Structure 1
């Protein structure tokens, strides 16, 4: 089972989720993907994912995680908390000179058009969830493109030191070569 956590303002309708779902369906694994619309409130989003992880574990399923951008940050936190494998795609990594104005303020989700406000309290929740040192880096795989126009990939390379890393030239924040890695992601999760 792969639990996919989408990025800030995104959702289950994102291109990456849809591509992964299509590949898994084509391989007869269509029922092995979970991706829900996450709350824009960080603690609530983590609670949603925690609940799904607990359901999996109670049914004897060891899930793997994948997430992009803020979802990549979340899966890193959850992988550390639960000892799970995770793929972080162009993940958000908190750092001292990060411009919080990317988050703070009024926003609209890309697919549903719902509006929400991200506050300094929500930013503090992200800080509380941060995992500056990875205790099990071997369980994490960083997928990053150097051309990410939103987040500086070098912070992710430093944060995921000791982890499997695929860092590609060019690209953008959406990770343009995602479809080239779908089968490897499924294999990394241990379900294909």
Structure 2
């Protein structure tokens, strides 16, 4: 089972979420891919995510998280003992997101998106100072990420499987090129390691 957690102001319509879901469908595994619309509140996002995977054994679950979703995926993987794939993950979002407090719109719609000041404290409550079992993590970090510093990611996930992509961008525009490795790490059969 793959739980995909999108990034800040994003949605299940993001390119990486769609590409992953499409590949799972092509493999006949669409029922093993969950990608919810996460609420702006980190606390509510985690309640939703935990509810969706309740009862799934840790060895049968991989959480794939992009940007802020990578921060969430790390916290969940530490709590559940499952694998996680981090795609240009936020490491300390409390610092980066403070300037985004207020009302704006989501990236893939005209829906209002409100990020409240109290959400900064909710994010702080999900901090993982150091991953306990780095072998359960696969990091894809791009040196050309225009939003987050890839060096923070590499340092935070020291000891984990890491793919440092020279150049690219925060969205990982060529993500489809790495999807086979992602799914192999998720133990999805049909994908080469």
User: Is 1:172 aligned with 2:169?
Assistant: yes
Would you say the 8 A contact 2:68–2:93 is kept in 1? no
User: Is 1:132 aligned with 2:149?
Assistant: no
Q: Matches of 1:6 and 1:74 in 2, distance apart?
A: 9
Where do 5+ consecutive residues of structure 1 fail to align? none
Would you say the 8 A contact 2:59–2:82 is kept in 1? no
Alignment TM-score, normalising by the size of structure 1:
0.92
Partner of 1:9: 9
Q: Matches of 2:63 and 2:100 in 1, distance apart?
A: 23
- Residue-by-residue CA offset, 1:67-87 (whole Å, 9 max, x unaligned): 100001100110001001000
Number of aligned residue pairs: 189
1:95–1:111 CA distance, 2 compared to 1 (3 A): closer
Q: Per-residue deviation at 1:21?
A: 1.3
Q: Per-residue deviation at 1:102?
A: 4.2
Q: Which structure has the higher relative contact order (CA within 8 Å, separation 6+)?
A: 1
Where do 5+ consecutive residues of structure 2 fail to align? none
Alignment TM-score, normalising by the size of structure 2:
0.92
Partner of 1:21: 21
Q: Following TM superposition, where does structure 1 have runs of at least 4 consecutive aligned residues deviating by more than 2 angstroms?
A: 98-103
Partner of 2:73: 75
Q: Per-residue deviation at 1:34?
A: 0.4
